[in-house]
Structure formats: C-alpha cells, structure tokens
Amino acid sequence: MTGRIRKREQDPDITRRSRILLYVALAAFAFLLGRLYWLQVVESDRYRNLAENNRLRLRTVRAPRGLILDRKGRPIAETQGSYDLACTPVDVKDLEAEIGLLAEIVEFDVDNDEVLDKIRSAQRSNPYSSLTVARDLRFEQISVIEFNRENLPGFSVMVEAKRSYPYGTAFAHALGYVGEASPEEMERSEDGSLAMGDLIGKYGIERLMDNVLRGVNGGRKVEVDAAGRDQRLVEEVPYHAGGAVHTSLDADLQVTAQDALGNRAGAVIALAPRTGEVLAFYSGPAFDPNVFARGIRKADWQALNTDPRKPMQNKGLQGTYAPGSTIKPFLAMTALEEKMQETGKTVQCPGTYRLGNRVFRCWRPKGHGAVDMYRALVQSCDVYFYTLGLKLGPDRVAKLEKGAGLGTITGIDLPGERKGLVPDPEWKRTVSKEKWYDYESVILGIGQGALHLTPLEMAVGYAALATGGEVMRPRVVSKVVGKDGKVRTFPPEMLRKLPWNPENVEFIRKALAGVVNDYGTGGGAKLPGIVVGGKTGTAQVASVKGKMIKSEDLPYEIRDHAWFVAFAPVDDPQIVVAAMVEHGGHGGSAAAPIVKAVLQEFFRTRVAGPPGKGGA
Amino acid sequence: MNLPSKWARMDWPLLLIALALSAIGLLNVYSGTRVHGVPGTALVTRQLIWILLGVGAFFAVYFLSDGFIEEVTNGFFIAVLLLLVVVLLAGRVRGGAQRWIAIGAFNFQPSEFAKIAVTLALARYFSTKYRYGGIGLKELLPAIGLALVPFLLVALQPDLGSAGVFIFILAGMAVVACVRWKVLAFFAAAGASAIPVLWFFMKEYQRQRVLTFMNPELDPLGAGYHVIQSKIAVGSGGIIGKGYLQGTQGSLRFLPEQHTDFAFAVFSEEWGFLGSLLLLVLFLLLVYRLFFLTVRSQDRFASFACGGIEVFFLTHIVINLAMVCGLFPVVGIPLPFVSYGGSSMLTGMMALGAVANLSRSRFTFQGAGGKSSEIAS
C-alpha cells in the first residue's frame, strides 16, 4: 500500500502549477461576476423592459366608428363586425413561408408584397402590437386559417369593426371614405391616439368630421408565452365609440340623383335655398367607399385614378365648367338692377350677331325675331344676351355674379372645394396683361369665354335668385353628437343678403317658370301640380368652325356640357337642383330630366305649399 | 483502512458544497419546469432521486479501498470508450445528436462519465511520467492520444461542447502535471492555428451558432434567440431578482432548455445579482476546495486526479455561465449540480467521491501528533 505513494512534497512544482489553475479560476469568476454586474445592475432596466415586452402584448380593442345619418335618421355610413386577419409581427417565425401559406387561403385585399413590406416595417418599428393584414374574411377562410394555426404563429383572426356604406356608390363624394392611418397621420394626431391599423377619414365627411366619428380605442394588456399564445388578461381599458354625424342629405333624393345621372359623368346638387342645407350631392361616376374600407387593391386604385372620367374627382365642387345659358338670368338681373334695360325692350334676333368683323351665332339658326327679356330667357335667345353682355360690360356683371356666389368659395362643409372664375378686366390684366375686348363681353352674355363655375356655385347662385338675394352657406352636416354625448348643431348661415328689388326678383322667377312651363327650353322639367322655374345651359367645350354640328355627332370629349338648374315651387322655393352632365349635349334634353326626377322625388313625400302661402 | 477511520477522514466540505448546490438546483428545477404557473413536479421528483443516487454514488466511490481507483482507471477508461461507441451506433437521437443511452425510464449520457474516465486516465499517465523540470513533448503525445480518442467519439455524436471539455481537461492537467512551458506554448499556438480546421469540420448549425454568438441580433428568432432570451432573463433579474417562482422568461417558455443548460438564467432572473453572487461563491468554494486537495494530496496520482477534476468543474461552470451571460456560444454543457439531469449529477458526485477517496491520503503524512499512526495500516 505505502509503496504506491509517491511522496508529493518532493514536487513543489505541482503546487506552483496548481496555483496557476486557481488564479485562472479566480480570474474567470471575477470576469463572470463583472458580466453579471453589467447585466443585472447596470443594464438591468433595459432587460427588464425587454422581458416585459416579451411577455406583455397590447391588444388594441378598436372603437367602432360613429354613424353618419341622413336627414331622416337613416344610417348612410355605419360600422359592422368583420372577421379580419391580424398579425403580431414579433410572434411571426418565418414571415415569407407564412405569408405564402396565407396567400393560398386568403386572397389578400392588398397585394402580397404590400403585406410583406408592411409586416417587415412593423417588425422593426412596432413589433409587439398587432396590425390588420386582410379584412372581411369569409367563413371558409377562417376555418382553414384556424386549421393551420400551428403553422401560422403570429397570425390570428379577430373581429373588427368595419366601415360600411349601405348606399354604396351613391354617397361616395359626400361621405368620402376611410383608410388606414398612414405613419405620417399617426405622427400628426395631436394626442397620439391613432394606433396602427386604425381607420381614419380620408375624404369627404369622413375626413371633415373625423374627430367626431373616430372613437377612443380601448385595449387589453395580455400576458403571452413564447409562442404568442394568450395566457392571462393583465389589464383592460374599455373603448369609447365614435360620435354620430347628422347630415341634411336625403338618401332617397341622393339615390334618385344617382339613378337619374346614370353612368354619365357629372354632378347633381340639391339645396334647400333658405337654409343652405344640402339635400343631395352626387358626383358621377363615383367609387364604392366599401372597397376602401376593406383595403383597396393597388390595381383598383390605379384603375380609379386612370379613368378618364375621373371617378375620384368631386365634380360638384371641384369641377369647373362653362355655365352656358344658365348664366343668362344673372345678366337679366344685372340689367334690371342696374336699370340698364327694361323688361319690355325688344331686340331683333336674326340668328346672328355681328360685332366688327366677328359674327356670333344664336343657337337657333333662323333667329327668334323680336324678343323681350322674358322671351329671351324662355327661348334662351343668344343674340339678346350678346347685346346685353356688351351693354352691361364685364364689371357690372361680375359684381352681381360674385355677389350671388358664383366664382367664389361657397364655404360648404366638405373638403377640397375649388372656385370657378368670373372674369373681369382686372382679372385679365393680372393674368395676361391685356385689355378687355368687347367681344369678350359679348360671349360672357351667354356664359362662354373665360367664365367657368362649379355646379355647387351654380346651385348657390340659383338659390339666391329663388330667394330674392339670400346667399346661404351650403351645409351638409346639420348636427353632431360627440363621443361624450354633447350635441352641436349648425344653424343656417347667411353669407349675405343681396339688395335686389323684389319686383326684379319676381320677374326673373316668372321668366324661369316660363322656361319650364311656357314652351321654353326647360320643358323637360315640367311637373304636374308644381310650378318649376329653371334654366337650361349648353356649354361649348370646343368651338366648331363653319357648320353647326349637332352635339351628339361630335366625339365624346368635345361634346357640350349640359346644364339645368331649377327651383320649385317658384312662388315659395323649397329646393334648388343643379344638374351638370359632362359632354352630355343639350341642357334641355340631357340635364332637365335629371332635375325633374329629383324634384319629383322631393315632392313625392312633401306637400308643396300652395302658391303664395309660403311654408317649408 | 477501516470504516470508522474512513468516516473520520471524510472531506465533508466537499460534500456539503455539492449538497448546497444540489438543493439550489432542485428548487430551481421546480421553478424552471413550471409552465404558465403550473410547477412541473415530475422532473423535481426525478431530480431528487438523482441527487439521492448521486450521494449514494459519492459514498460508493469514497469507500472504495485505497488504490482501487488507480487500479481500475484503465479498465474504466476502456469501458467508457466502448459505451461511447455504443452511443454512436445505437444511441437515442435527440435534438439531432446521439448522446443518450436509455436504461429503463432513465437516459444517460456516457460522454459525462467519459470526462471523469479521461481525467483519471490522464492522472495516472502523468503520475508515471512526472519528472522534476517538467515533462517534454515526447511524454505529452500519449496523453494527447488519451484525450483525443474520446474527443473524436463525442465530437462525432455530434456534441462539440462536451468534446471541447476533454481539451480543457487535457490542457489543465498538462499545466498541473508540469509539462514544460515551451511545449505548452507550442500546443497553444498549434491549437490556435487549428481553429480554421475545426471550422471546416463543423456542421452548419454549429457554425451558425458561433456566428450568431458574435452578433446575436443577426438572427433574433433563430440561432440568436437563445442568447438574447437568456440575457434578457439574467438582466431583468436586477439586483435582488424577481423573487422565487416569479420569473417570467422561463415560465412563459421564452427560455429554451430552461431547466437544463439554461438553469442559471432561470435562477438569476428570480434571485438577481445577489443570488448569482451566492452561487458564484459556492462554486468558487468548490473549486478552491479541489485546489486545496490537489495541493495537499500526498500522492501524484491523487494530486493530478484532483487537479483534473478541478479543471472538469471549472470548465463546466465557466462555460455554462459564460454561455448563459452571452459570452460564449451556445453549447450543451450543464451547470454542475444545478442543471437538471442524471448523468451530470452522477458524474459530479462520483467525481467528488473520487476526490474524497484519493485525498484521504493527505492524512497519511500529516506529521507528528496527528493521525500519522495510520501510516502503518
């Protein structure tokens, strides 16, 4: 036994060498301790945050967007439940594979690449909150997704509030549409209340009234495991639904306006002349705002934007057109107010009007013979108004027209309004440094030349004619009920009252009634039992030299714009309707029936006050 | 030597430190295997059984008669090599590697026992070659051969982490056994230049691990995931920790292998810097005790064996902790006594049992007035 023992104290080297190991151990432990100090003391807050982020997910519970109602309380924009596909970026394991799988199940409402990009950027910027990837899933899609749960970590089906527009395209340009808030919009939102994937109004009333309609999101703080599965509800904050917007729009009237315009391009606007309330506001062709609420596809968006008839343009307040003969009552009014021409004075119409070496045609080649102001309006005699235009000069005409709201911003409560142009020598000097020529005054008489107006301006102007000079600010929103229940109403707002002589007003009204009822150009808007007053307009888009060519025989793009603007009943105007059909041809044939349809619908449910008695 | 005197010469500090670490490990397994707040009692019971078996193994080895260990060293070494071959041929594949042999309900990893076998074999070899002034290159080469065979067998499983431990043991023992510095320097240089060759032999996932170790954010959901989540667990523990059973990284399964290789992450999340410090102190005591016994052993074989086992523990502790702290690539190396696992527990206890057994000899030459009478036995 002892023989085995080799005396160790003879080997001092071994002790020395062993000590080296001990030093190595001490150094390693010191180093580890330093590392632990760094992680657990110095950087501890950072890791604590990371651990919380690991563990806690904020699941936004989106507040439903508030209702938009028509004047009878019918919802024209509402919120419905929709099964949406949501993604929590941090829980996604293999993004491309999962998106590939999903692409087979869900036809994405947005392009695949777009979804990939969106999730990728969220993985960097905001990986812990969920974002909506596809909306409005069908039942079969949901079941396939649920079946594939294991292969789709990070994706889940959630019930989300979806914007829906029961009247489809009818209210497109009035209501606008909603879309997901862009990163810039989220940044801009004052209180940071916008979450990823929140819908905000992008256009129309949806945009204008966004702060009323948008609710306050609630949320659930949930503890999840490493696979992203919910374990426990930590905290819950309830949401507050958005407020309601009451409009003055009438759904029946709106649908009638849409149907009457059909698939032609143009605008139909109906106003209550004494209050400025907008009863119908249709611009065609329109888009379906429901498509936007689901997340519009790139291709659809492109199609909308490249359509030559510009469905995304609100023709009612952004399109400007030469008014044609619809301007004539304003010239007549100017003449009467300025006492430049009496109603009874006649002008000879041989079918042409000569100024210097220029010849201007009347729409009726053989002429109207001797016409007074009444006849000239009823028959829309061009020669009469050439004479009047020259006689009045541009300044007088412009003053009255601008006063009535033409060529000015009307101040409607819809975004994006543009103003038309009522030209005068001052304007000409500024834009072209040229003087005003007489021929310009002549063609101004029949609503051609530089003059161009929006259909909305025309409706406001005719409301002034109908009411005897009351220029009201057009209003779509009549009342809002906020999230907090607070009610705010928008009373009628008179922009100005024009000091027109009632006799003159009376004459113009009568003449406009004659246009419809006294074998005039507006016979197409004649209604039984109700006296309608109005004026046709056919606005040249291109001047065709030489022979008169019928509008219908011209290529679409250079056909005339057709106008008809009317109010009724003449003795007690309750409604003004302006219809403009782009390249529609003659106002009497193309636009007047539209106005008639709207008036018919309006008076179907409303008893018109008997003449002279007033009401509404 | 009779039984009572063996009791009397028992190195209690060694066992007490091991038991303290095992107790901490048991508590930690209870916390680490709990998922979503439900504790995993099954594994705790098993770990308790492993601890009891380990203590049994400790004493079984401790009570072996003097000299027996040295006698059976070669046989043990060959037996373990055979087991490693069996693992390669018929082992259980788990996580892409053949590391386990199943015996009934228990799986064990021969590579763990191989570490001890190699240590003892090297101790025996060096004890015969030791000479004043240091061992030269010629004598070192057979020692390299002794470590290289199990290294290759384990590396083939593939388990580069465990295989690497053989290299560390060899290097550590070469230092203790007084291999000349020149020779050591030569091998250090050779080893460094062999790294590119090693890279060539690595599997793709192993390269990935090393690469993501350099920059874990490169692949946060893939190979870098372990490191990131582990650092989060450790770092979020703060100074005093989140409290026992209050850790979230483990129970919500963000930590992979949270009860085995990443047990320390669970522990330091719940016990914080102070807990980590306590654990480090315990480990340091263990290492120091092994150093103490290395120096005090009266017999070269015993001395080298203690030194080798000291290197064995040191390697495990430092690599595991460095890995959990994000200082070392993720390799499958358990934390002695703390990680869940039978092979690791038995190996650790047996190794300490061997140390206790071999270091009994230190009493032999304790000098006058001591227990020197034992020399006669």
Q: Predicted confidence band at A613 (pLDDT cuts at 50, 70, 90)?
A: very low
Which tens digits make up the pLDDT trace of A390-449? 999 999 999 999 999 999 999 999 999 999 999 999 999 999 888 999 999 999 999 998
Low-confidence winner among A167-181, A221-235, B85-99, B136-150 (lowest mean pLDDT):
B85-99
Which tens digits make up the pLDDT trace of A208-249? 999 899 988 888 888 877 766 777 787 788 888 899 999 999
Residues of chain A with Cβ-Cβ distance to B303 below 8 Å are 8, 14, 18
Distance of alpha carbon B200 from alpha carbon B195, whole angstroms: 9
Cα A510 to Cα A88, A468, B305: the distances in Å are 68, 12, 123
- Give the burial string for A507-522 (b: 16+ CB within 10 Å, else e): bbbbbbbbbbbeebbb
Q: Around Cβ B337, how many Cβ atoms within 10 Å?
A: 29
Give the residue from chain B lying closest to A27, CA to CA. B318
Residues of chain B with Cβ-Cβ distance to A43 below 8 Å are 235
Residues of chain B with Cβ-Cβ distance to A11 below 8 Å are 130, 132, 178, 300
Q: Predicted confidence band at A192 (pLDDT cuts at 50, 70, 90)?
A: low
Q: If contacts are CB pairs under 8 Å, which of residues 572-611 in chain A contact chain B?
A: none
Sign of the CA dihedral running A44, A46, A50, A53: positive
Give the residue from chain A lying closest to B362, CA to CA. A8
Q: Which pLDDT score, from 0 to 100, does residue A614 have?
A: 39
- CB of A27 within 8 Å of a chain B CB? The answer is no
Whether A8 sits inside 8 A of B130 (CB atoms) is no
Residues of chain A with Cβ-Cβ distance to B314 below 8 Å are 21, 24-25, 28
Both structure tokens of A84: 């949406």
Whether A48 sits inside 8 A of B236 (CB atoms) is yes
Whether A24 sits inside 8 A of B298 (CB atoms) is no
Both structure tokens of A117: 């990009």
- CB of A40 within 8 Å of a chain B CB? The answer is yes
Q: Rounded to a whole number, what is the distance in Å from the CA of B49 to chain A's nearest CA?
A: 30
Cα B223 to Cα A39, A225, B179, B210: the distances in Å are 21, 19, 39, 9
Which tens digits make up the pLDDT trace of A353-382? 999 889 999 989 999 999 999 999 999 999
Whether B314 sits inside 8 A of A24 (CB atoms) is yes
Confidence check: pLDDT of A531 > 50: yes
Q: Rounded to a whole number, what is the distance in Å from the CA of A46 to chain B's nearest CA?
A: 8
Q: Which residues, in sequence order, are CB contacts of A506 under 8 Å at separation 6+?
A: none
Distance of alpha carbon A93 from alpha carbon B220, whole angstroms: 10
User: In this complex, which of B239, B248, B294 lies closest to A51 when CB atoms are compared?
Assistant: B248
Distance of alpha carbon A388 from alpha carbon A333, whole angstroms: 11
Q: Rounded to a whole number, what is the distance in Å from the CA of A229 to chain B's nearest CA?
A: 10
Q: If contacts are CB pairs under 8 Å, which of residues 172-231 in chain A contact chain B?
A: 223-227, 231
Residues of A annotated catalytic, as ranges: 325
Please tell me whether residue A156 adopts helix, strand or coil conformation. strand
Q: Rounded to a whole number, what is the distance in Å from the CA of B51 to chain A's nearest CA?
A: 26
Q: Around Cβ A426, how many Cβ atoms within 10 Å?
A: 12
Confidence check: pLDDT of B369 > 50: no
Q: Around Cβ A395, how many Cβ atoms within 10 Å?
A: 13
Q: Rounded to a whole number, what is the distance in Å from the CA of A99 to chain B's nearest CA?
A: 17
Q: Which pLDDT score, from 0 to 100, does residue B376 have?
A: 37
Confidence check: pLDDT of A25 > 90: yes
Alpha helices in A307-444 (DSSP H): 328-337, 373-378, 382-403, 425-432, 438-444
Whether B273 sits inside 8 A of A46 (CB atoms) is no
User: In this complex, which of A36, A44, A224 lies closest to B325 when CB atoms are compared?
Assistant: A36
Q: If contacts are CB pairs under 8 Å, which of residues 191-210 in chain B contact chain A?
A: none
Confidence check: pLDDT of A196 > 90: no
Q: Which residues, in sequence order, are CB contacts of A457 under 8 Å at separation 6+?
A: A405, A406, A407, A408, A410, A419, A420
Which tens digits make up the pLDDT trace of B105-156? 566 788 888 999 999 999 999 999 888 888 888 889 999 999 999 999 998 8
Residues of chain A with Cβ-Cβ distance to B361 below 8 Å are 5
- CB of B275 within 8 Å of a chain A CB? The answer is no
Tell me the percentage of chain A whose pLDDT exceeds 70.
Answer: 92
Distance of alpha carbon A457 from alpha carbon A407, whole angstroms: 7
Chains A and B form CB pairs within 8 A to the count of 168
- To probe the interface with A, which of B176, B253, B324 has the most A CB atoms within 10 Å? B176
> Which helix (DSSP H) or strand (DSSP E) does residue A563 occupy?
strand A561-568
Confidence check: pLDDT of B1 > 70: no
Residues of chain A with Cβ-Cβ distance to B239 below 8 Å are 40-41, 44
Q: If contacts are CB pairs under 8 Å, which of residues 68-127 in chain B contact chain A?
A: 70, 127
- CB of A342 within 8 Å of a chain B CB? The answer is no
Give the residue from chain A lying closest to B126, CA to CA. A14
Residue with tokens 């998106």: A99
Q: Predicted confidence band at A130 (pLDDT cuts at 50, 70, 90)?
A: confident
CB B299 within 8 A of CB B263: no
User: In this complex, which of A21, A33, A36 lies closest to B291 when CB atoms are compared?
Assistant: A21
CB A393 within 8 A of CB A441: yes
Residues of chain A with Cβ-Cβ distance to B375 below 8 Å are 2
- CB of B239 within 8 Å of a chain A CB? The answer is yes
Whether B67 sits inside 8 A of A1 (CB atoms) is yes
- CB of A41 within 8 Å of a chain B CB? The answer is yes
Average pLDDT, chain A: 87
Whether A40 sits inside 8 A of B268 (CB atoms) is yes
Confidence check: pLDDT of B370 > 70: no
Predicted TM-score (pTM) of this structure: 0.64
Both structure tokens of A103: 């692409």
Whether B235 sits inside 8 A of A21 (CB atoms) is no
Whether A44 sits inside 8 A of B236 (CB atoms) is yes
Confidence check: pLDDT of A294 > 90: no
Q: If contacts are CB pairs under 8 Å, which of residues 93-112 in chain A contact chain B?
A: 93
Q: Which pLDDT score, from 0 to 100, does residue A245 have?
A: 96
Residues of chain B with Cβ-Cβ distance to A221 below 8 Å are none
Q: Predicted confidence band at B329 (pLDDT cuts at 50, 70, 90)?
A: confident
